[in-house]
A = this chain, B = another copy of it.
Amino acid sequence: MRLVLDAMGGDHAPEAPVRGALLFAREHPEHEVVLVGAPARLGACLAREGGAPGNVHPYPATEVVEMEEDAFAAIRRKKDSSLRVGFELVRRGEAQALVSAGHSGAVMAGALLLLGRLPGVERPAIATLLPTLKGPGHCLLLDSGANVECRPVHLAQWAVLGGAYMRALLGIERPRVAVLSNGEEPSKGTALTREASALLRRSDLRFTGYVEGRSLFSGDVEVVVTDGFTGNVVLKTTEGAAAGVTGLLRSAIERGGLPLKLGALLLRPIFAGLKTRLDYAEVGGAPLLGIEGVGIVAHGRSSPRAIQQALVAALRNAEAGVRAELTRCIAQAASWLPVRQRGGTRGWKGSSREPGGLRR
């Protein structure tokens, strides 16, 4: 498989992407990584790391999509940006997936404009796999940031996509699906959550109704759908809470006396396990579900290890079964979920106006 990595995306680019690509490439000699970015900077990075192995290919792109840019405008205007050049490679079939730790709205814009959507999908979503903290499971949260304004039909479609994804990727036969809300009673929620629930009650999914935020970690459900604003806030809150708890422990131990330091030494294997379970770097990246092709959004602060894991995620997402299961389930859902296909992209993160669609 050949994977494209946007080497200019992320807070620590191009160093972290380059080093992450090398970590991945050494572990997976049977696959290839195309590093897209400014030739001089990539060359300098690679030289510092002792050069590129045979399965890592630098590929030139002179522009970069900046974080504060309008996503759709940037993809349209910056024809030689690392992101657009990367997506062109996937579109032409010269690579099977793209990974970027850059502007997530622009990754979505690039995927939409250059790859398009799966048949029947109205809006793609960013799907983040969270570790459940009771037991060994995972919970898929979508949308975690692409669609700030959305309609009930979008949440219902994400429930379908999320269920199909958990089945294809993790082999969960009948994933439980829920709508995130401010209480479990059906009277709670907003117009959006109530109407999405009404749609899902008519579905053939294993829909369990509303869940509160704590169910993301409890193992009660495998798929949770919400609007991209709430999803993104929830994700950052989780990160902050987990980092805060481990930080509190660490500083208390550092300030403490010898018995505490001995205790910490004895518990080191447990702390290491906890770190692995909580670390976003281990999850790697979140796929855009519903696009034609594979796009992985990595964390903006991705370390080399996080980039490596995002490339692993890209591999798994590019396997044939995932797309087949997503399209099968979306087609099957047409019986209870009438979707009007619209060309517009209004409301996607980073875009404040209706784009006309890219002329190819």
Contact = CB atoms under 8 A, between A and B. Distances in A.
Interface of A: 67-68, 70, 132-134, 145, 148-149, 180-183, 185, 187-190, 212-218, 226, 228-230, 232-249, 252-253, 256, 259-260, 262-267, 269-270, 273-274, 277-278, 349-350, 352
Contacts of A240: 133, 212-218
A182 B237 CA distance: 10
Contacts of A234: 213, 233-234, 237
A100 to B, nearest CB: 16
A213 B187 contact: no
Number of copies of this chain in the oligomer? 2
Contacts of A238: 213, 237, 241
Q: Is the interface of A mostly helix, strand, loop or mixed?
A: helix
A213 B235 contact: yes
B213 A145 contact: no
A342 B244 CA distance: 41
A97 to B, nearest CB: 25
Contacts of A149: 190
Contacts of A242: 241, 245
B267 A187 contact: no
A226 B233 CA distance: 11
A237 B214 contact: yes
A187 B350 contact: yes
A185 B66 CA distance: 12
5 contacts: A133-B244, A216-B240, A218-B240, A245-B245, A249-B274
B133 A245 contact: yes
Contact of A260 (B239, B267, B274): B267
A-B residue pairs, 4 tightest by C-beta: A133-B244, A263-B266, A214-B240, A213-B237
